[in-house]
């Protein structure tokens, strides 16, 4: 059984994961309209992962006797300065989500909810991977400077991070 406090904070996370998915769709769409097919594909794939994260929270809350509630989702930005700005924003967003997951874990620890702590470990691992993946891309962009975006766009699909091992 989920405590009310955990149910509330996990429900908030549903909204954050949904926003993440929409944000990455907006980023993919921007990249696509700028002619960056590789970058667009990278963000489309990322958006799908975020959608799955949202689903995981919905199903976990319901399974643990809570009620998952879908919130309204804020409109994401649709215009991005350039490719480096795009990935800098993505990294900031991932850091924000990591903090948010840490907060949920903090509540699960306070509540002595060991099943939730165990389940949340998957997200802790996933966030670490996602931050590292975006950071690796930013490192490459720093090496390239503002040039060679054609090659970067072609190579980006090989920079995808392995996801956390599957969990229900």
Binding site for ligand OFO (CB under 6 A): 17, 20, 50, 53, 94, 97, 126-127, 130
138: exposed, middle or buried (C-beta count within 10 Å: 0-12, 13-18, 19+)? middle
Question: Chain-centre distance of CA 75, in angstroms?
Answer: 16
* Contact criterion met (CB below 8 Å) for 119 and 60: yes
Place of tokens 């997200």: 123
In angstroms, give the least distance from the CB of 27 to ligand OFO.
12
CA distance 138 to 130: 12
Q: Smaller CB distance to ligand OFO: residue 33 or 121?
A: 121
Between 75 and 147, name the residue whose CB sits nearer to ligand OFO.
Answer: 75
Output the smallest distance, CB 36 to ligand OFO, in A. Answer: 21
Q: Please report how close the Cβ of residue 123 comes to ligand OFO at its closest, in angstroms.
A: 7
First to last CA, the chain: 17
Which residue, 94 or 113, has its beta carbon nearer to ligand OFO?
Answer: 94
Q: Which is nearer to ligand OFO, 20 or 116 (CB)?
A: 20
**Least spacing, CB of residue 93 vs ligand OFO, in Å:** 7
Nearest to 54 by CA among 14, 26, 22: 14
């Amino acid at each position: 059984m989920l405590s009310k406090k955990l149910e509330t904070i996990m429900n908030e996370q549903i909204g954050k994961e949904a926003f993440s998915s929409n944000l990455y769709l907006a980023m993919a769409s921007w990249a696509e309209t700028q002619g960056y097919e590789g970058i667009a594909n990278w963000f489309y794939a990322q958006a799908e992962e975020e959608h799955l994260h949202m689903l995981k929270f919905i199903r976990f809350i319901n399974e643990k006797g809570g009620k998952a509630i879908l919130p309204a989702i804020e409109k994401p930005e649709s215009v991005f300065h350039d490719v480096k700005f795009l990935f800098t924003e993505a990294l900031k967003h991932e850091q924000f989500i990591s903090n948010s997951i840490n907060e949920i874990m903090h509540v699960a620890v306070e509540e002595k909810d060991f099943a939730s702590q165990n389940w949340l470990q998957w997200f802790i691992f996933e966030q670490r991977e996602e931050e590292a993946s975006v950071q690796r891309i930013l490192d490459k962009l720093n090496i390239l400077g503002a040039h060679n975006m054609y090659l970067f766009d072609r190579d980006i699909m090989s920079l995808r991070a392995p996801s956390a091992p599957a969990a229900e």
